[in-house]
Structure 1
Amino acid sequence: MAAPLSGFIRHLQSEKRHSARTCDNYQRDLQRLALWLTGVGCDCWADLSSHDVRRYVAHLSKGGLGGRSIARHLSSIRRFYQYLLREGLARDNPALDIRAPKTGRRLPKVADVDQINQLLEVNPDDPLEVRDLAMFELMYSSGLRLAELAGLDLLSLDLKGREVRVLGKGNKERILPVGGKAVTALNNWLAMRSSVAPEGEPAVFVSQRGDRLSRRSIQARLARWGVLQGADQRLHPHLLRHSFASHMLESSGDLRAVQELLGHADIATTQVYTHLDFQHLARVYDQSHPRARRRRGGSGSGES
């Protein structure tokens, strides 16, 4: 079984001009398959059937591989058998119609409302901590991405109108409401900002040196803030954005509105937050759906 595999790798290197890393990945995947085939008593590539490939997928899954990794293995097998068919070393491609198991989407971590209140209900007097509170209040108030917060300019703030204009992914602009707590925190910071920022600096949030605060610095300051406030998990900017989305959806139930606020091009991206209020939805379903409600006065004679 080694000769066809070696020939395939040479084919990728010389004819397809694939990188050494890509070739190594193919070789590693197919050597793993070859080892499994030897273990089940198969010593010829041409004898591999679709049933065998399905068994192999189950073996990989049982071994802890996720859907994406298994999909890559299947891709390697399909590509290998295309080569074997061309060389007359196989009769068909046994992996052609085999699909990897679906990968569960990673669910965003969130903080509950009480945790957010504990995090933000402070009265800092140090200018940098006043700045930090303004940043974190704004992120939670308006659901800003880290890049949107870091790139925010003074001209984008309208605190009298309680709005902020941000430039999101794909250079798409959106105008977002700013909550009262965030407006207060921002006004407190802007009153101190001139003591740090040089004249003409457009950035809302600046460092001790007076230049625009970097994304990495914002991440570090939020992690530090969490430690100081006794947070029970490591804080990061996306946690505030996720918490904003979750709390908005839980209160309003308006997925389209939350999609607009977050700046998601596809509503499927926003739907990941719906799991967070699933128990509430399940209760509503049980109380409302005519086929979900239990009959009163007994189970009925026709049930078994």
Structure 2
Amino acid sequence: MLALYEPYVQEFLNYLRFEKRYSQHTILSYQNDLEQFFTYLAAEFDGPDVPQITAGLIRSWMASLKEEKRTAKTINRKVSALRSFFRRQMINGVIAQSPLTTVITPKISKRLPVFVAEKDMAAVFKKPGSPKEDATGVEEEEVDIEKGMTEWEKEVGKLIMAVLYNTGMRVSELVNLKERQVDAHYSQLKVVGKGNKERLIPVSAGLMKELQDYMAKKRLKSLSEVEFLFVNDAGKQVNRGRVGRLVKKYLTEVTTIEKKSPHVLRHTFATHLMNHGADLNAVKELLGHSSLAATQVYTHNTIEKLKEVYQKAHPKGGG
């Protein structure tokens, strides 16, 4: 970080950490975006002080990002980080007005959330070797998704898939889930989301039984003193990268969708709920969204589902 900007940036990051209580992952994202912006200013415009930064300089940076083939979504996220930073500088009295007031961000084409079909999710949880039907209705042998994995990796991997799909929690929420957040009595999980906001997510009796069995096996492996729920063979907390690889491994065997990430399972959770008539506000609470706007995107998938049903079932649907 350039010395000129470091005091401003550090104060802002401390504000995010201690007042907004953002996660370390989110804070690092803000830090990277700000460092990139100020490095650009230093290289192209000799590093003007914060009060001298204009809308023109920001537009110039945005143009450079576009030349680097950055997507509109990425550019908007970076500009959003700047917006928060300059809003903080106004509160601190460093500037009188944000230079972003007249900056227009690029439009993002709205895309429906990618999700896994219900039949494909069902295939994830089938036992290896059990028969399945192909597109023609002919039974074929199920691919062993867990081939090459240790017994503990299988235990943890399948349970991680079940928890992500059954709760819709974020990957950061999952890796930081602790045993004490598993409430067997009320069959629910206490999740700590963005801004350290807590929410309760109900789980089925079947999934709770799997979680209890898993924790019992942790005790047998002398891993019971590890506070994090999901651990690897060595008793270390499972990290985001490992979860991402696990999800990709499982989904690669059952679906041809391009994206195969933990966040896709979050989309899948919400979409399947909506397709089965769940209340939008209830889905919002389960996902931990701060507003309905973020949840409403799933209603579009529901509409597409209704169109499909209409076209297949109504006598004039295909005309």
Q: State the partner residue of 2:142.
A: none
Do the aligned partners of residues 181 and 117 (structure 1) sit closer, same or farther apart at CA in structure 2, a change above 3 Å counting? farther
1:142 aligns with 2:176: no
* Partner SS, residue 276 of structure 2: helix
Larger Rg: 1
* Partner SS, residue 209 of structure 1: coil
Q: 1:174 aligns with which of 193, 199, 217?
A: 199
* CA–CA distance in structure 2, aligned partners of residues 156 and 134 of structure 1: 16
* CA–CA distance in structure 2, aligned partners of residues 222 and 67 of structure 1: 24
TM-superposed CA distance for 1:265, in Å, is: 0.1
* CA–CA distance in structure 2, aligned partners of residues 244 and 186 of structure 1: 19
TM-superposed CA distance for 1:66, in Å, is: 5.4
* Partner SS, residue 165 of structure 1: strand
**Superposition pairs for residues 1-304 of structure 1, below 5 Å?**
13=46, 26=60, 29=63, 102-122=107-127, 126-196=151-221, 198-227=223-252, 229-233=253-257, 235-280=260-305
Contact 2:62 2:75 in 1 (8 A): no
Q: Could you state the TM-score of these two structures normalised by the residue count of structure 2?
A: 0.57
- Give CA-to-partner distance per residue, 1:126-171, whole Å, 9 cap, x none: 2221111111111111111101110111111023421110100010
* CA–CA distance in structure 2, aligned partners of residues 262 and 220 of structure 1: 23
* CA–CA distance in structure 2, aligned partners of residues 150 and 67 of structure 1: 26
* CA–CA distance in structure 2, aligned partners of residues 265 and 97 of structure 1: 27
* Partner SS, residue 194 of structure 1: helix
Contact 1:150 1:214 in 2 (8 A): yes
Unmatched 5+ residue regions in structure 2? 1-41, 79-100, 129-145, 311-315
Q: Which has the higher contact order (CA 8 A, sep 6+)?
A: 2
TM-superposed CA distance for 1:99, in Å, is: 6.6
* CA–CA distance in structure 2, aligned partners of residues 116 and 197 of structure 1: 32
The number of residues matched between the two structures is 222
- Report the identity percentage: 25
Contact 2:215 2:224 in 1 (8 A): no
Contact 2:121 2:254 in 1 (8 A): no
TM-superposed CA distance for 1:267, in Å, is: 0.6
Contact 1:108 1:242 in 2 (8 A): yes
Q: CA RMSD in A?
A: 4.2
Contact 1:246 1:273 in 2 (8 A): yes
Greater shift in the superposed pair: 166-175 or 99-108: 99-108
